Structure 1
Amino acid sequence: MLSQTKSDVTSIFRERHSVRYFDPSYSLSEKEIKDLLKLAGSAPSSWNLQHWKFVVINTAEAKERLLPIASNQKQVVDASVTIAVLGDLEANRNAEAVYRPIVQAGLEDTYAGYASYPIMIGQIESAYGHAAPTYRRDEAIRNASLAAMQLMLAAKAKGFDSGPMVGFNADAFVEEFNVPPRYVPILLIAIGKALKPARPTTRFSTEQTIVWNGFDPDAAS
């Protein structure tokens, strides 16, 4: 049973491809969308602050509003749903809500390896208050991207297809969909049933992508 499970997981990774053409007649239910986003939301994040927000675009009216913003990529209309993954620039504000249950359970002294809850909160606030100006944005993008990839894998595991898109006007999205300044758009992910197979892609060999124990200072770049 264990080997079969491993095989299934490997297949999900191998079979996930970025789809451009979706069956416009196929529709995901609200429950199916929520199930996918629940799995996406189990992705790891710094301090477990969960630096993501998902804007669900699944009505015909919302899709038409998104279409010009997404460079008229037709998949945002044909896919059952497009998820806009946003990164949280103020994820430190999530700390109390995330850790309050831990504190109430009396487990804060052993949670996340910190000596105490105040020490952990102090470190979070220090990082967000005194780090370089790019820190908040970098953290938002890094952590929300983990959730985005997990969403695409979850979609494939559930028998759906997906296609990520970065070719969209983030400023226009913010304006059209009333995104608060706390959030930054990271990417769009169309999800549904493929109408055509994803186009074949070539990949670097594993050897071309690995550097063992650091770069050789004498090697050419």
Structure 2
Amino acid sequence: MSFVQPNQKVEQPFFNIIQDRRSIRYFDTEVMIPREEMKEILQQATLAPSGANLQPWRFLVIDSQELKQKLLPIANSQQQVIEASAVIAVLGDLEGYTLAEKIYGMAVDAGYMPEETAKSFVERYQRLFAGMSQENVLRKVLIDSGLVSMQLMLVARAKGYDTVPMGGFDQTKFVEAFDIPERYAPVMLIAIGKAAKPGHRTVRLPIEDVTFFNEIPKA
């Protein structure tokens, strides 16, 4: 039996997931993800952090072949749209703060906070967001939606699926074609399924090129 010694570094499976994730362009068209499993992936993804825990992300899962064909020209004819098991449209809810009472009420029911604390949080954040400019609300929603999107892709990889995030699509046509209410801002599309071909290996800049401690060099 082996024991981990103090200060001994042990590679965790999570790091394998990070290193194995690739953006996939070609998917196995025979693979379909059961909806219960899709819900499980999304549920795990929503454990991502969000400002004030307001969770403003929303998911439109497009797994109908007919609707994927409809999406294809809107997504610049990227073939992964129709080859993948599904395409998840990540949307930011600009009125997500209106669910504060439900969210904090659930926290009270779970025993995570006193009722009075929850009430004060609800009042504070509803007042804050209601008085905020649309631009600032959108900025916060985009940050939170980006966090959940990355977590979604890592959860998918952990469950043996592959993904590719797509920012290249016509947001205006997408909103019109799928009748998206005004309160939801399209953030990205994520194709998900099983890879038919491995994704290309890529390089990353040295950490010294992208990280600075305490101050940014002037030159």
- When normalised by structure 2's length, the TM-score is 0.90
Secondary structure, aligned partner of 1:116:
helix
Task: Give the deviation of 1:197 after TM superposition.
Answer: 1.1
Q: Is the 8 A contact 2:89 2:187 kept in 1?
A: yes
Mapped pair 1:63 → 2:64: no
Task: Give the deviation of 1:62 after TM superposition.
Answer: 1.0
Give deviations 1:119-170, integer Å, cap 9, x for gaps: 3223212321223331110111110111110110001000111000000011
Q: Is the 8 A contact 1:53 1:86 kept in 2?
A: yes
- Give the distance between the partners of 1:151 and 1:46, measured in 2 at CA: 18
Which of 54, 79, 92 is the matching residue for 1:49?
54
1:1-221 superposed matches below 5 A: 7-104=12-109, 108-109=113-114, 116-216=117-217, 219-220=218-219
Moved more, 132-141 or 147-156: 132-141
Q: Is the 8 A contact 1:92 1:125 kept in 2?
A: yes
- Give the distance between the partners of 1:52 and 1:91, measured in 2 at CA: 8
Moved more, 124-133 or 82-91: 124-133
Give deviations 1:19-56, integer Å, cap 9, x for gaps: 11111111111112111111111111111111111000
Task: Give the deviation of 1:106 after TM superposition.
Answer: 6.7
How many pairs were matched up?
Answer: 214
- Give the distance between the partners of 2:157 and 2:69, measured in 1 at CA: 26
- Give the distance between the partners of 1:159 and 1:15, measured in 2 at CA: 10
Task: Give the deviation of 1:109 after TM superposition.
Answer: 3.7
Secondary structure, aligned partner of 1:117:
helix
Q: Which amino acid aligns with 1:77?
A: I
- Give the distance between the partners of 2:34 and 2:9, measured in 1 at CA: 29
- Give the distance between the partners of 2:110 and 2:87, measured in 1 at CA: 38
Q: Which amino acid aligns with 2:180?
A: V
Quickly say closer, same or farther: Cα 1:86–1:5, change in 2 above 3 A: farther
Moved more, 59-68 or 116-125: 116-125
- Give the distance between the partners of 2:9 and 2:28, measured in 1 at CA: 30
Gapped runs of 5+ residues in structure 2?
A: none
Q: Is the 8 A contact 2:90 2:145 kept in 1?
A: yes
Q: Is the 8 A contact 2:56 2:144 kept in 1?
A: yes
Q: Which amino acid aligns with 2:32?
A: S
Quickly say closer, same or farther: Cα 1:128–1:38, change in 2 above 3 A: same
- Give the distance between the partners of 2:110 and 2:73, measured in 1 at CA: 49
- When normalised by structure 1's length, the TM-score is 0.89
Moved more, 45-54 or 120-129: 120-129
Q: Which amino acid aligns with 2:171?
A: A
Q: Which amino acid aligns with 1:62?
A: L
- Give the distance between the partners of 1:53 and 1:117, measured in 2 at CA: 23
What CA RMSD, in Å, does the superposition of the two structures yield over aligned residues?
2.2
